[in-house]
Amino acid sequence: MNPNRPDTLPLSGAILAGGRARRFGGRDKTELRVGPNRLRDRLLHLLGGFCREVMISSNSLNDCPGARIVRDRKPGQGPLGAIASCLEAARHPWLLVVAGDMPFISAPALVHLWRKRQGADVVIPRSPDGLQPLAALYHRRCLAAITCQLARGDYKIKDFFPAVRVRTITCTNHPKLYPENSFLNINSPDDLKKADLLRGLTPDPVSNPRQTPPETKLIV
């Protein structure tokens, strides 16, 4: 990761690794493989292609080449607490959050959120399943509202949205950017089997993870 690369965006990307998954014997879900690659490695390559900084939110990892590890400032506050910790640690005002167990999210889908950021504090996709707060863009301006909410013991991400400016991206209006299963996450062994099956039917958007996707270049 080179923070001075001209072909990257002035954007911090954060992979939320989450805690140990009980349905997977207490394993870190980012260690799971869909096809030949670990979920973590795929997302590191994905975000590293267009984000000027890449972080991984984890309380268990001690080393992660290609990313800066960010610990929860106060463990037990769930994904919202992890977002707050990453907003505080980020070197750039905008933070792109991606769940660590999403095998099919693509760079163009995420860069589209960046393109729609003007006049907003949160840019979030709305799929047929609802809002997708773990594949969304957050500005540092959100931190005050998030901090107040966490202090009340409220850990639901969407509950701070009324205090900030939220722009929703309707995924069905952009079917090429957000095809079905874009936001599939791995919550169970059955989900992992489904993802393996789908990967055999659908080309991976990160076919060459070391190459920046052409759709992400020269976007400022």
The predicted-structure confidence for 31-87, as pLDDT tens digits, reads as follows 888 888 889 999 999 999 999 999 999 998 888 989 999 999 999 999 999 999 999
Q: Checking phi first, is residue 25 left (phi over 0); if not, alpha (psi -120 to 50) or beta? A: left
Cα–Cα distances (Å) from 121 to 96, 126, 162, in that order, read 12, 16, 11
Q: Where are the domains of the chain?
A: 9-201
- What percent of the chain stands above pLDDT 70? 84
pLDDT score of 188 = 80
Examine the pLDDT at 97 and tell me if it is beyond 90: yes
Q: Are the C-beta atoms of 136 and 122 separated by less than 8 Å?
A: yes
CATH of 9-201 given 3.30.465.10, 3.40.50.1820, 3.50.50.60, 3.90.550.10 = 3.90.550.10
pLDDT score of 197 = 85
- Other Cβ atoms within 10 Å of 161 Cβ, number: 18
pLDDT score of 202 = 58
- What percent of the chain stands above pLDDT 90? 68
> If DSSP codes are grouped into helix, strand and coil, which group holds residue 30?
helix
The predicted model scores a pTM of: 0.87
For residue range 99-153, what is the model confidence (pLDDT) as tens digits? Answer: 999 999 999 999 999 999 999 999 999 999 999 999 999 999 999 999 999 999 9
Cα–Cα distances (Å) from 108 to 105, 139, 175, 185, in that order, read 9, 19, 12, 18
pLDDT score of 191 = 82
pLDDT score of 20 = 56
Mean pLDDT of all residues in 178-195: 88
Give the distance from CA 186 to its chain's centroid.
14
Do β-strands 51-57 and 68-70 pair in parallel, antiparallel, or remain unpaired? parallel
> If DSSP codes are grouped into helix, strand and coil, which group holds residue 211?
coil
pLDDT score of 87 = 98
DSSP run (H or E) holding 110: helix 107-115
Torsion (CA) 164, 165, 170, 171 in degrees, nearest 10: -60
